Structure 1
Amino acid sequence: MNRKFILAITFCFCCIVQMMSQEKSVISSTEKYKQFGLVWGLMKYHHSEISKGTYNWDETFVENIDKLEGVHTQTNLDAFLLNFVLSVKESKIKTETNTDNLFTKNFDYNWIEQYSGNKELYTKLKKLENNTSIGNYYTSKSGIPTFENEKGFKAFDHKLKSHRLLELFSFWNVIQYYDVNKYLMDKNWFGQLDYFIDSFVNSNSQLEYELAKTSLIVSLNDSHSSYLSKTVADSLFKFRPPIGIKNINDTLVVRSIFNKNLGEKDDLRLGDLIVEINDLDIKSLQKQNIQSKFSSSNDTYSKGLSGWLLRNIEDSVKVKIKRNDSVVTKYIHLYKTFENKDYSYLPFFRIEKEWQIMDDNIGYINLKTISKEDIKKAFEEFSNTNGIIIDLRNYPKNIRGSDITQHTYPDRKEFIKVLSPLGNRPSLASFGKPSISIIIDPDKSGSKNSKYYNKKIILLVDHTTQSKAEYIGMAIQASPTCITVGETTAGSVMNIAIFKLPDGTEFRFTVLGGFYPDGTGVQRKGLKIDHFVQETTSNFTKDQYILKGIELIKSTKK
C-alpha cells in the first residue's frame, strides 16, 4: 500500500515537472516576431542574393509572419527559422572578420549566439554576419546609402498586423545596420525592440499606429528625423493660439500676436510670460508633449519647437501668466484657423543687410542668403576693420564653407573628420572621404593665403544652426582667430538619408558622422561653443549674441 502511494506521488510529481517544463518552453508572440524580424533583416542586408534584389523581401516577410502563429516553442522556432533561411538560394559567402581601423561601436550581432545549440542554423547566421559578398540593391553604389529601391509596400493596410510589423522591422533594421550614429541614442536600439513590437502589435486604430511610428522615430534622437503625421497633428494638435512665443529659460514669452481682436478677447499682451500650461511647468510639459513627439538631438533644439506646447486637442487651454508683478491663471481660446490681422510683435534689434560695417568699425555678415560674390566684396571692405561678426543663426542657401575660409585661413587645413557606413559591411563604418559629388576633398578647406583676415572673427550660432549650417560652421571655426558665441546647435551636422517605409512614409536620418579633427563628435552635442549667450525674459529683445560679439572684439582689439 505504501509502495503504491509512493508510486502515485512520484507519477504526479513527474507530470507536474513535465507540465512546468512544457510551459517554460512556450515562447511568447513578441519573442517569435522579434527573432523572425532579426533573421529577416540580417538576410536582407547580408545575403548575396537577397541584397541584390533577387527576391521581393517585403512580400516574403508578410507571407511568413502569420505562419508563426503555429509556432509555440523555441525548438519549433529554430526549425522554422532554419527552413526560412534554406528557402532562398544559398548565399555566396566571402568572409571578413578583421575590424582593425574600423568604427565598431554599432556592431551588434550577439543575438545570434542564442542559436548556438542548433549547429546548422547558427553556422549559417554566423557566416552571414561576416559576409562581404553583398549587393547594393537596398543601399547604393556610392559611399552614402540612398535606399532608392525602397518603394513602399503595395496595398499597405495598417489594420493588418503583418503589415504593421513589416513597417517596424523595415525601419528597425535599416537603423540597425546603416545608422552610424546609433550608438549615441539615449536608449539602446536593440534593447527597445520588445517595446516597439508590442506597440505595433497592439495598435488597434490609425492614431495608435501613427503614435507607435512616432515613438519609433523619436527614439533616434536625431534633429534631422523630426516627423509628425497628419493623423497625429489633427488629433492631438488640432487647435492653436493666435500668438507666437519663444522659450527662454523654460518660460514662454509672448513675442507676437497674429490677430489683434483674438488677442484682446483673452487679454493677451506682448511680453506676457507663460509659466504653466494645464498646471504643468514648461520644462515638464516640454518633455511630455514635445520630446515624446519630435525627434531631437538635444534639449536646445527641442526648445525651438516650443510653439507646439500651446496647441491642444480642445479649443482652449489653461495657462498661468505673469505680467509685471501680477500672476493670473485663466483659459485662452485656441482655433483651427484664424486670419492674420493687425499683426504685432515685440521690437527686436535686427540687422537687415546681408553685410555691412557697424559701429566701432566692426564688419557683419549674415550667411542666410548672401552670395559668394558678396562675401568676396565684404572681405575686401572689411580688410581694415577691428573684427568681423559672422551670423550663422540660419541655414545658408547660396554658399559653401570654402567661400568664407578662402579669406580666413592662412593655409589649407583639415576641419572635419567624417564617419561613413561601409556598403559591404553593414553596421561597420570608417573615417575617410565619402563620395559626396558636390564636394571635392570634403574634410579640408581654405588655401595658402598670406593676406588672410587675421583679426577676431566671431561666429554666432544657435539651435537653428543645423546640418549644412553646422558643417559650414565647423569650417569657419578652424579659422585661427575664430571665437564661437551662442547656444548649443541642432547636433545633426552631416548628410541625410531618406528611407521610404512600407506605408509610404519617408523619414530622414543623419547617415554620416561629423567629428572635429581632435575626435570630438558633433552629432547630438552640436558645435563647440566658446561663450554661451545668457538670454533672459527681459533682455532678449536686444540681440545678446551680437552684443557679446562686439564686446569680445573690442576687448581683444589690436
Structure 2
Amino acid sequence: MRNQGLHWGAMLLIGALCLTGSALAQELTQRSPEALHVERREQLVKLWGTVRFRHPSAFSKPADWDAAFVAAMPKVEAARDDAAYAAAVQGMLAALGDPATKVDHEAPPAIGPAPALRGLKTWEKDVLVLDLRNLLGAQARQGLQDLRQTLDADAAKARVVVLDLRMRGLQRYGPPWVLPQVLPHLVGGELRVPGMREVVHVGLKPQNGDSSLYFTEFAVAPDDLIEGTPGKKPSLLVFLVDEGSAIDPAILALQANGKALLVAEGPLDDSAINMQETVALGGGYRALVSVNESVLALSADISRPARARMDGADEGMRQALALAARPPKRKAPTTALLRPAGVWRPEPGYENAPYPSREQRLLAGAKLWTVVRYFFPYTHLMDQPWESRLPGLLQKLEEAPDAKAYALALAEAGTWLQDGHVVMRGHPELQRFFGVGPQIWVTDIDGKAVVLEVRTPEAAPGLAVGDVIEKVNGEPMEARVRRFAPYTSGATPASLRDTVLRRALSGAEGTTSTLTVRGAQGPKDVKLTHQSGWTPPATTQAPYRILEGNIGFVDFRLLEAWQVPEVFEKLKGTRGIVFDLRNYPRGSMWALGPYIDVKGSRPYAQYERPMTGGMREGRQKLSDAVPASETPKYRGRTVTLIDTRTMSQAEHTGLMLEATADTRFLGSATAGTNGDITHAVLPGGIQFTFTGQEVRHGDGRQLQRKGLVPHVKLRPTVAGLQVGRDELLERAIQLLRDTPAP
C-alpha cells in the first residue's frame, strides 16, 4: 500500500509540474507590454555597454555611440513586435560602421544543400586548384598528410594556385587548422603575418582626461612568421571565399604583399576573421559584437553575388580561374591596408543640458550602470546585486521631473556602491543641494554630533573640540541627517554616519549658518562660514616629538617624505612609537617603510584591477611590498591610532605598518575604503568618482567595507574631549609602557 501511495503521489506531482510548466510557458510567451518594455530597455543598455568597452573602435567615438543609443531607445520602446525591436537595435549597431557587429537570429540558419566539390587537388593546365573543403570529414587529417607529401613538387610546377575555402552549405567556418599547414608549401622565404588586436581597459581610464594609473590600450598579438619550404613557388595565390569562410590573417598578409588575390562570393565582413561576443536580446534574437580586429583590413579584390543555386554553374570558380589565367599586374607591397588604430577620447559631458532629454537621462543610467559593472572592483560586496539595480535606476531617471530630481537620482544610485570614495559633482543642482562641506570634523558619540577637529578656527569662532552640535539655523541635526542620508555613500555604518553628519553642516558658498552647540560651559550659538578650497595650512610644527617615558610620537598629518630620515634618527632610542593615523597622510609611507620593516620584505597589500575589453574580462593582480634595503631598522614596539578619519591612503599606510612592524591598532574601525579613485562622466556635466581597484591585506583578508580593525577598541568621550584629553593617545602610551621593550 505504501508503494502504491507513493506511485499515485508521484503521478499527481508530475501532473502539477506539467500544469505549472505549461502555465509558465504561456506566461513567457504572453508577457505584458510593460514587462517587455522593461526587458528590452535592459537588453539595450547591456548591449550598449558591451560594445562601449569591448568593441575595438567604440571607445574612440564616444559621442557617436551615445547618439546611437539616444536614437535607438524610443524605437526599441515603440517596437510592436520582435522584428521591429531587432531592427531598432540594428540601427544602433550600424553607427559603428562595422557590418560584423550586428543583430542575428538566435537559431543558427539552416545549412542548406551542400555544393558539389571538386577533388582535393586538380589541375587546370598550369593552375593548381586545391579544394580544401574536402578536408572536413573523419579522414581529414590523413588527407592533409597525403596532400603535404606531394605539395612541394606540385607548387614547383604551378604558376598559380587557387584555394577554395567557400563553406556555404557545409559546416560553418570549416577546419581552421588546415590553411596554416598548407601555406608553407606555397610561400617562398618568410612571411610576416600581423597579429589580431583588441582594446584593453585596465581599470577605467578617467573619462574626464585626468592622469591615472588606469589606462586603455590596444593589445596587439605578436606577428606570426610563416617560413616557406625550399623550392620554387607559384607566383600568385587566389583565395575563393564566401560568407561562411573563416579567413586566416595570413591571407591578408599575402594580399598586402602583392602575392595573393581574394575573390568573395556573396557578402564578406570582418566576422570572417574577428572573434565575436554574443549578447542575448530576447525575442529570438541576439547581437554579435566584434571584440577584436585584424591589423590588416579585410577587403576583397573581386566581389560577386552569392550563388543562386548550389547545383548550378560555379561562376565563382570560373572567375577565380579566369584571374589565374590572366592575372592583373602584380601590386607592390603596401601599407595602405593597415587599419588605423583608434584614438582614446574624453567622454562628452553635455554640460549645457542640466536637465537632459528623457533619452539622455536613460543614457546616464546606461553609463553609470555599465562603468560600475565593468570597473567597480567591489560589486561582490554590495548588499544588493548590481544586476538587479538596473530596472529601478532607469525608472527613476525616466520619471525625474526636473534637473534637481535627475541629479539626485544619480546621487542616490551612487550610494548603492557602499563606497566612501563615491562623489557626484559638477551639476549646479548638486552644488545647491550639498553646498560646501564644513572645515570641521564631527563624529557620532552616543548618537550626538561631536566636534573632533576644527580645521579652520576663523571659519567658526568659538567652536571647540568636544562641542555637541544640536541644530543648524534652528533645524535639528537629525532632521538634516535624514535629508542628506539618501544621497550619501559610505563603506561602513560608522563612516557613513560621520559623513552624513558633516554633510548636515554644509551650506552655500560664502553664507553663514548659526550652530546651536552644547559645550563644556553649556549651550551657545556659533557662526559657521561656509567656504570651499581648504588645504592643510603651512606649519613649522615638527611631525614628531618624544613623550614622557621615552615614547616617540609621529603625526602622519604633518609628516612629509623628506622628513622621515630625521624622524628615525631622533626616535631611534625610544621605547616605542605611537603613530597617529587619524588623518590623511602626505605620502610619507613609502619613505617610512624601510625603517620599520623588521619582518623582512613581504607583501603588505594585494591589488586587483578590473580588466576588460576584447576577449578579456578579469582582474590584473598586483601586490605592494617594502623593497629590501640596508636602512637601519627601528625595532621598538609601535601602536597606531585609528578611527573613521583613517581612509584610503591612511588605511594603506596602516596595511604597511601591520605587515612590516606588527603594529597594534588602537581606536575604532577605519573607513573601509581603499583603492585609487577614477572618474566617469555623465550627462549634465556630472563627474562620478568611485574606487577603481580592490585592495586587500597582504595576506588576502578583506579590507573594503570592514576597515582596519583595532586590536584595542576605544572611543573618545565627550567629557574627555571637552577638557582637552586625547584618551586614545593616553591609552597607547600606557600600552607601550606596559609592554616590555624589545
Q: Does 1:307 align with 2:485?
A: no
**Corresponding position of 1:356:** 545
Relative to total residues, which structure has the larger strand share, 1 or 2?
2
* 1:416–1:474 contact (8 Å) kept in structure 2: yes
The correspondence of residues 433-472 of structure 1 with structure 2, limited to 5 A, is 433=622, 443-448=624-629, 451-472=632-653
* 1:410–1:449 contact (8 Å) kept in structure 2: no
Cα offsets for 1:391-425 (capped at 9, x unmatched): 12222224233423433434222111111112436
Q: SS at the partner of 1:498? A: strand
* 2:382–2:418 contact (8 Å) kept in structure 1: yes
Q: SS at the partner of 1:542? A: coil
Q: CA deviation at 1:472?
A: 1.9
How many residue pairs were aligned? Answer: 482
* Relative contact order higher in (CA < 8 Å, ≥ 6 apart): 1
**Corresponding position of 1:57:** 65
Q: Does 1:548 align with 2:737?
A: no
Q: How far apart, CA to CA, are the structure 1 residues paired with 2:430 and 2:349?
A: 23
Cα offsets for 1:57-93 (capped at 9, x unmatched): 1111112122234214556434533554466414589
Name the amino acid aligned to 1:302.
L
Name the amino acid aligned to 1:64.
A
**Corresponding position of 1:3:** none
What is the RMSD of the two structures over their aligned residues, measured on CA atoms? Answer: 4.5
Q: SS at the partner of 1:538? A: helix
Q: How far apart, CA to CA, are the structure 2 residues paired with 1:134 and 1:317?
A: 66
Q: How far apart, CA to CA, are the structure 2 residues paired with 1:460 and 1:70?
A: 60
Q: Does 1:374 align with 2:382?
A: no
Q: CA deviation at 1:167?
A: 1.5
Q: Which runs of 5+ in 1 are unaligned?
A: 1-17, 97-109, 136-146, 339-350, 434-441
TM-score with structure 1 setting the length: 0.72
* 1:402–1:446 contact (8 Å) kept in structure 2: no
The correspondence of residues 139-538 of structure 1 with structure 2, limited to 5 A, is 149-153=346-350, 155-156=352-353, 158-227=355-424, 231-232=428-429, 236=433, 246-253=443-450, 273=468, 286=481, 288-305=482-499, 306-309=501-504, 353-424=542-613, 428-430=617-619, 432-433=621-622, 443-448=624-629, 451-538=632-719
Q: Which runs of 5+ in 2 are unaligned?
A: 1-25, 103-195, 199-276, 296-343, 532-539
Name the amino acid aligned to 1:300.
A
Q: CA deviation at 1:27?
A: 4.6
* 1:242–1:263 contact (8 Å) kept in structure 2: no
TM-score with structure 2 setting the length: 0.56
Of 534-543 and 385-394, deviating more is 534-543
Q: Which has the larger radius of gyration?
A: 2
**Corresponding position of 2:16:** none
* 2:404–2:430 contact (8 Å) kept in structure 1: no
Q: How far apart, CA to CA, are the structure 1 residues paired with 2:50 and 2:661?
A: 47
Q: CA deviation at 1:487?
A: 1.9
Name the amino acid aligned to 1:77.
Y
Q: How far apart, CA to CA, are the structure 1 residues paired with 2:44 and 2:416?
A: 22
Cα offsets for 1:352-372 (capped at 9, x unmatched): 531111111000111223233
Name the amino acid aligned to 1:189.
W
* 1:394–1:464 contact (8 Å) kept in structure 2: yes
* 2:643–2:667 contact (8 Å) kept in structure 1: yes
Equivalent of 1:41 in 28, 35, 49: 49
Residues 496/236 of structure 1: CA separation in 2 closer, same or farther (3 Å cut): closer
The correspondence of residues 108-123 of structure 1 with structure 2, limited to 5 A, is 115=282, 118=284, 121-122=285-286
* 2:49–2:370 contact (8 Å) kept in structure 1: yes
Q: SS at the partner of 1:529? A: coil
Cα offsets for 1:97-146 (capped at 9, x unmatched): xxxxxxxxxxxxx995563x62xx33x45x66xx46699xxxxxxxxxxx
Q: How far apart, CA to CA, are the structure 1 residues paired with 2:383 and 2:294?
A: 31
Q: CA deviation at 1:297?
A: 1.4
Residues 204/557 of structure 1: CA separation in 2 closer, same or farther (3 Å cut): same
Residues 79/284 of structure 1: CA separation in 2 closer, same or farther (3 Å cut): same
Q: SS at the partner of 1:389? A: strand
Name the amino acid aligned to 2:363.
L
Q: SS at the partner of 2:608? A: strand
Q: CA deviation at 1:236?
A: 4.6
